[in-house]
Amino acid sequence: MKPFDPAIVTAPPALDPAQQSLAEALRVSFSILKLAMVALVAAYALSGTFSVGSNEVALRLRFGDYVGNPGARVLERGTYLAAPFPIEQVVKVDTRPAMVSLEKEFWFETTAQESGLSRSQLQTRKAMPLHPLRDGSLITGDSSIAHAKWTINWRVTDPEAFLTNVGTRQLATDIVRLVAQQGIVHAVAQLSADDLLRGIVNRDLAIGVMQYRLDDMRTGLTIDQLSLDKVSAPMRVSSSFDAVTSAESDRAGKILTAQQDKSRILAETAGEGSVGLLTMIEAFEQDSERGDAAAATACEAAIDTTLASLVVNGAPIGGEVARVINGAKAYRTQIVEKIGGEAQAFKQLLPQYERNPRLVLAKLWEDARETILTGDVETFYTVPGQLELQLNRDPTLQKERQQEQLKSKRKGDAR
């Protein structure tokens, strides 16, 4: 082998400018490609980041199976990180309350032209028998027929069951509509037609039937409220039902007016103590009607005591009763004081009368005349003999009497 001779080694041939530009471009391109690959890998790793809003929840599925332990799989409001697709998939469930309206299921068919008609006009146009294929209705417990419109409020309460067995809100709406019909039919079948037409419905029973059906299918749905929006009797007999309803309304109004009048009269009669006083009086009347004299006497004594104190069961007695009793008490006091004063004056005058009766009588007559003639008194003076007084100062009567006197005088002169 020949020894290595550095002089023999020669430098590589120099590249021309075109080759140098190509090499530089390739080097930059490979650098950019590396950066792009790193960015794509990072973006793919972070593509599983997601957020959950206030009116929704989310569940993660890893290769089609739920992620997390039972009871901790539902993700509520916040931001989360999941493995990128197709390793994990995030499914969001809308938990906002929803509403289903049953406007045609139990209501008679109405056309677009009939929807704007009044009730009386509908009675005229819908007087024909019901068509079982077009007209919806409900059968009540007394074998009557009625029409009604309903509204059901529902929401998703078990997102996992909902996602597993239902999947979409449209399908959930259809399921709620069907179970609502079953619950309403079941509840109305136990009512009378009068109760239903007055809006009396066992909503707890209807909702219970609906919820039982939904839970049995594990839908994850909950019924919150059932509302009866509108109810009507069949158009052929609705006028009769309206007459009955009007009569009952008038009856209720008159009862209410009578109760208001009763309260007003009792308040004006005895004030706050009217109820207690009325109870005592009714007890007295019942004892008297039964012939229980002892009980009636006891009630009467209790009433007398109550009226004397003007208090019954801690409530004051006012109104007309208090006014009359207070007036009677004041009159009694006035009479007692007056009689007492007269008795005292008599006692003072009696010794003087015993000593000189004529002088005392003269003094009393003089005092009486002074009392009578004091004030606005008009005195009439007449000649001795025949006395005639005309006390009525009515001009008409005065004129009539003068005419009668003239007639009498003329008759006497004619004789």
User: Which domains, ranges and CATH numbers included, belong to the chain?
Assistant: 24-93 (no CATH), 98-245 (3.30.479.30), 259-369 (no CATH)
Which pLDDT value is given to residue 228? 93
Q: How far apart are CA 358 and CA 355, in angstroms?
A: 9
Residue 218 C-beta-side C-alpha neighbours within 13 Å: 5
Measured in degrees and rounded to the nearest 5, phi and psi for residue 132 equal: -65, -20
DSSP H/E element including 99? strand 98-102
| pTM for this entry | 0.54
Residue 308, pLDDT score: 87
Asked if residues 307 and 317 have their Cβ atoms less than 8 Å apart, the reply is yes
- 3-state SS assignment for residue 271: helix
Q: What is the mean pLDDT of each run of 10 residues along the chain (415 residues)?
A: 52 66 77 76 64 85 80 80 76 90 86 58 58 82 90 93 91 95 94 88 94 94 94 75 77 91 89 88 90 90 89 88 90 92 87 86 84 70 66 68 78 68
Q: In this structure, is the dihedral angle defined by the CA atoms of residues 13, 18, 21 and 27, taken in order, positive or negative?
A: negative
What local confidence, expressed as pLDDT, does residue 373 receive? 76
pLDDT of amino acid 202: 92
Please give the Cα distance from 287 to 301 (Å, whole number).
13
C-beta of residue 270 within 8 angstroms of C-beta of residue 319: yes
pLDDT reported for residue 153: 96
Instruction: Evaluate whether 319 touches 277 at the Cβ level (below 8 Å).
Output: no
